[in-house]
Amino acid sequence: MKHIAYAILVTTMVTAVLGQDIETRKSIDSTDFYLWSEGGVQYIPSIKINDFSGPFSTPLEGSLQGEMTGTQSISNYVVNPSTGYNFILGFGYQINSNLGVELEVGYAQNSLGSASFTSNSSANVSGTSAGTPFSGTAEGVGTGSLSSTSGTLTYIPILINICVQERSARFQPTVSFGLGACPTIFNSNNITYSYSESGTINGTISETGFSAPYTLNGSFSGDGGGSSTAVPFAFKGKAGFDYIFTPHASLGLRAWAMGLANSDFGGQLKSDLYGAIGLNATFKIRF
């Protein structure tokens, strides 16, 4: 009898615990799965392009007629995109009442805006001066700028997030951190480009040395090279809140910041690290 009574007691206790767990899982605070969407503004302070160099060749005009051929190094290349927008869809699983794991996929776009850079040139020169042949070397410093009326930067972030949320009341603060990748499409159509350089040519003419200043100016409007794609590593943090207005639905607000590392757009256009920030409204459904 004692064994039977003991078995009944243990069974009653286990049933009570399991029953409590089932009831807890039925409450709002323990709903396992959720879907959400976000949308809002996105701002990219600037994109610093890594320094690079390449060959160049340009004609000389004026008192010195000929050609300059050498190497040009580009530095301080900074792109300043215009303010854009972003949209996100996400799916989450509630590990416990305060901790969730999420998958989010987004789409965002910014106008390309404007860019500027500086250059240093080192070249060999040859040609004629008043019909007399000359040769020498040239050193120069220049500046350039670009703008675009329809160029864009398009982002498709794909992230896995860990989300922590206080869910004991209708007003529910939340923070999350995510890692993933962000395919980025750089579209440089309809570019307006201008460039100016000044420097000094040192050479010889009829076995006599000379030094002469030079100036190069140029502009271009048209296709800047089409589109190219990079797939940088992405990391993102969010902070905000949800307000529960039905047992399974909420509205909220999120402030977020995302970093993009190792973007390689090809053609020596690379960026080690830049970031984006934004503010989104969010709608969430739990089921």
pLDDT of residue 31: 61
Q: Which of 22-36, 244-258, 262-276 has the lowest mean pLDDT?
A: 22-36
Question: Which pTM was predicted?
Answer: 0.82
pLDDT tens by residue, 126-168: 999 888 999 999 999 999 999 988 899 999 999 999 999 999 9
Average pLDDT on 60-85 reads 93
- Which band of pLDDT confidence, cut at 50, 70 and 90, is reported for residue 17? very low
Q: Shortest CA distance to 167 belongs to which of 31, 8, 5, 268?
A: 31
pLDDT at 12 over 70: no
- Which band of pLDDT confidence, cut at 50, 70 and 90, is reported for residue 225? low
pLDDT of residue 222: 78
pLDDT of residue 227: 86
* CB 87, CB 47: distance < 8 Å: no
Can you read off the two tokens belonging to residue 85? Answer: 């927008």
pLDDT of residue 22: 35
pLDDT tens by residue, 196-212: 999 999 999 988 999 99
Average pLDDT on 75-81 reads 96
- Which band of pLDDT confidence, cut at 50, 70 and 90, is reported for residue 1? very low
What CATH code is assigned to 31-286?
Answer: 2.40.160.20
- DSSP-based helix, strand, coil % in the chain, nearest 5: 10, 70, 20
- Which band of pLDDT confidence, cut at 50, 70 and 90, is reported for residue 23? very low
Could you tell me the residue ranges of all domains in the chain?
1-30, 31-286
**How many angstroms separate the most distant Cα atoms in the chain?**
125
Q: How far apart are CA 26 and CA 19, in angstroms?
A: 11
In angstroms, what CA-CA distances link 238 with 68, 99, 163, 267? 52, 14, 9, 34
Amino acid at 148: S
User: Phi/psi of residue 13, each to 5°?
Assistant: -65, -45
Cβ within 8 Å of residue 26, ≥6 positions away: none
pLDDT of residue 150: 85
Amino acid at 125: V
